């Protein structure tokens, strides 16, 4: 099996070493090589480092405070400590790559059945791009963390990123400062059920 598929782990502790421009571009190129529905390539990548990261974190913190004071997501309160933990990791990682669905539709309005089908296909394509990037990061000696816990700050982040399209995920990247064990996986019985 491909070495990086076996070796990749979610990394939640990073060294302070910067990731070079050249390496950032290699990782994004790996994302762009992913397959996509109808070859639509629905992604847009925004790499955030250095001082920009400080201002980005401020936007995220503002969003979390707003959500605490006036929740837009019902039941979000039970997720706050997880979100704060993820924010801490994002603060430490030297590089964050945001992935935007450039065909995304505002989360404020309901999708038609046709739009939902497009959204499902685009989501899979973007997932493939993110997985490619995390495997490329591993291959280049870096750790990464796929992050969806940014949705509390959805509006604030979209404003910061100057996009009215949908923000899908973030990938934190940096040199790992931990070596976590593999997390358990379900057994193969989930796959072979129909063979009995």
Q: Does 145 bind ligand FMN (CB under 6 A)?
A: yes
CB of 28 to ligand FMN, least distance (A): 18
CB of 51 to ligand FMN, least distance (A): 24
The edge-to-edge listing of strands for the beta sheet with 43-49 is 43-49, 95-101, 166-174, 143-147
Q: Does 122 bind ligand FMN (CB under 6 A)?
A: no
| C-beta of 86 vs 153, nearer to ligand FMN | 86
Chain positions 146 to 175 lying near ligand FMN, rule: CB under 6 A, are 146-149
In angstroms, the CA 60 to CA 69 distance is: 14
DSSP conformation letters of 137-191: HHHTT-EEEEE-TTGGGHHHHHHHHT-SSEEEEEEEEE-BS--PPPPP---THHH
Build a one-symbol-per-residue string for 81-100: x at contacts with ligand FMN by CB under 6 A, - elsewhere: -----x--------------
Give the interface with ligand FMN as residue ranges (CB under 6 A).
Answer: 9-10, 86, 145-149, 183
């Amino acid at each position: 099996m491909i070495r990086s598929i076996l070796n990749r782990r979610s990394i939640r502790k990073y060294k302070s070493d910067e990731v070079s421009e050249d390496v950032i571009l290699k990782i994004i190129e790996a994302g762009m090589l992913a397959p996509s529905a109808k070859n639509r390539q629905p992604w847009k990548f925004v790499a955030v480092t250095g001082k920009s990261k400080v201002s980005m974190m401020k936007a995220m913190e503002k969003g979390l405070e707003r959500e605490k004071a006036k929740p837009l997501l019902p039941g979000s309160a039970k997720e706050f400590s997880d979100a704060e933990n993820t924010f801490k990791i994002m603060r430490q990682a030297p590089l964050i790559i945001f992935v935007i669905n450039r065909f995304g539709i505002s989360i404020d309005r309901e999708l038609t059945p046709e739009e939902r089908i497009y959204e499902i296909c685009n989501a899979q394509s973007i997932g493939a791009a993110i997985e490619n990037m995390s495997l490329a990061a591993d291959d280049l000696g870096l750790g990464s963390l796929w992050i969806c816990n940014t949705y509390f700050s959805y509006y604030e982040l979209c404003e910061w990123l100057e996009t009215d399209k949908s923000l899908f995920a973030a990938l934190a990247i940096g040199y790992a400062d931990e070596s976590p064990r593999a997390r358990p996986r379900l057994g193969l019985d989930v796959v072979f059920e129909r063979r009995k």
